[in-house]
Structure 1
Amino acid sequence: MSESKNQDNGDVKALKVAAPRFCQDCGLSLVMLDTWCTSRACPDCGKEVYFIRPGEDGGIKVEAGEKFHVPQLTMSLDPTAGMQFTRYGLQGFLKQLFLEQKISSEAELVRHYKDTERRLDADLNGLDCISHCDLETAEGVEEAVKILQSNGLIEHQFNLLRSGLLREAYTAVEEGDAPRAALAAHQANVFKEYSLLEHHHLKEILWLGYRCYQDMVKNEGLTENAAKEQKLMNGVVKKLREYGDEFLYALSHDGREIGPRVSVSGVAEKSLKALIEHELQHREQERAEIHAKEELKIKKMANSIKLWGFLFTLANALILAQYKDWLG
């Protein structure tokens, strides 16, 4: 530690020497990276070093004896986090996300479960809404689950249940109870998948990705003119809904040109006629559904009247019977 003397007041201050960020022997980082990475002990100095070994098909390759480190999910999927995936990078990410690291021994499995439990608990302990709950007791966990559920924190709720099951799993392993360990591990993995599917960014990516893919498939092979016509047709549908049934029927059956009469250009007459016929069928179907609902309502009212009539008759009969008994 070096020292310097303050020229103004003569005080002696210790200058903090920054801890080295890289191993002097192998040159790898001594600080965990802010992205997916692996780590192992440096063969020379023995300190844990962090690095990335690209896989053949994207992602990160993890070899025996190495640890795989995953940052918080939002660091990878949040568009504002400054990270952008390539196609193969995203595939590798999802593979690592759902499959986790390769476990080659019982001791490594227990260590992995304990590390995951600590990571989940650290995240849960940061939630103010359950800070008063004792997560080491069944009552505390039950209360925390209800609070998380009522607050809509479903991802955290699943992580809480997963944490408890991981402890059950590694405890059973340490006690030599294989069936109990297998069941707890399976249940913990189920809650892991549930929590992933509840993650805000992943849910949005899946939904928006599906919509984009759907649009791409629908529009695949469309010519520029066909795409323009499809866009115009969406506007025509809204316009047709403003016209009455008689006018639409005339447009569809009088054999005259339709476009000029509805102020539409750029859409084929055949397409316009099909849209009009579809609108008329839709309206007829709506009327039939309304009529069916009205009939059902009338039947219910009739049954209700019959029921009340029966009850009224029954009540009169009972009163009359009581009156006769009273008269002797």
Structure 2
Amino acid sequence: MEPTNKTDRFCSDCGLSLIPLPSPHISKNCETCNRQIFFTRINKDGIKVEKGERLTIPSGFIRLSLDPSDGGKLFRPGLSFLIKKMFLSGHPKNGEELDGFLRLVTEDTDNHLSNLPELSGLDLKIEEDANKAFKILEDKSNSSYYRVVQASFAEIVKKFVGASDATNAAWAGYMLGTFRGLSLVSEPLFEQTLWRGYLANQIVYEAAAAAAQTPAEAEAIKKLEPLFRRLDEATLFIWIESNLPIGPRLGVKSLPEEVLRSLAKWHLASYQREREGIARTAVEKRAERELKIKWISAGVAVTTCVFGALKAVGLF
């Protein structure tokens, strides 16, 4: 039974609530007035429910989120479950549902873009505005950018399916899934969680490394950093490949040869990373020019927005 009076919030006989509680609770009829009462009974094992009582978990109380401020706490199995839900929810269960899924991807992206403050005043149906929007999003390379590219591939999938081009339809579908994944992992909350996890792991690693060496070794390594940075790539490569002691070449006697060789390998790898970055930039620029020519005739507003300057390195 409901409370007989709007101000009648508690039972006058037992003193318990006559309205549902915002947290998980038990309900039953009051033994005196027979009205439904709501309460909690908690022991060391949790909420205890007895015969004739009903347990209620309010809608929205249990929230699966990576955000600790939501009030929930995920254990490892729960985190795995949440990640699977993020990537698999809403996917088409068979080929007949594909067209509807592709349409939802495009509509969801359109709605998302229409609410972005940085794109205010731009009409994405106009090619010039679409290109401006893409440039704004491209510079940020965030979740919104990847969602736009995902929607573009959704349109490309439909185009190839309509043309009975199975090979290119499969390729476009693969790329759609790739950018769908990127749009999820680049969401600010997901990215922050990943970054914090990396930092925590780094702290653990550094603590272990610090415990494995003496303070004197740590100080010596720190002082050697500038010297290694002044060595060119060829010198480092020869020193490492020759398997000859590095200490005498540097005039260092206080550090084990294994430590010096590891430092040399790390600095050699930094040269390689820098060279790969330069090569990637060149390939990206070339890919932008090629894709602009290839896809400029797609005719879809969101596709025009993306494929004018789509970055392809490492993704195609």
Smaller-chain TM-score bracket: 0.3 to 0.5
Structure having the higher Rg: 1
**TM, length-normalised to structure 1:** 0.42
Higher RCO, Cα 8 Å, sep 6+: 2
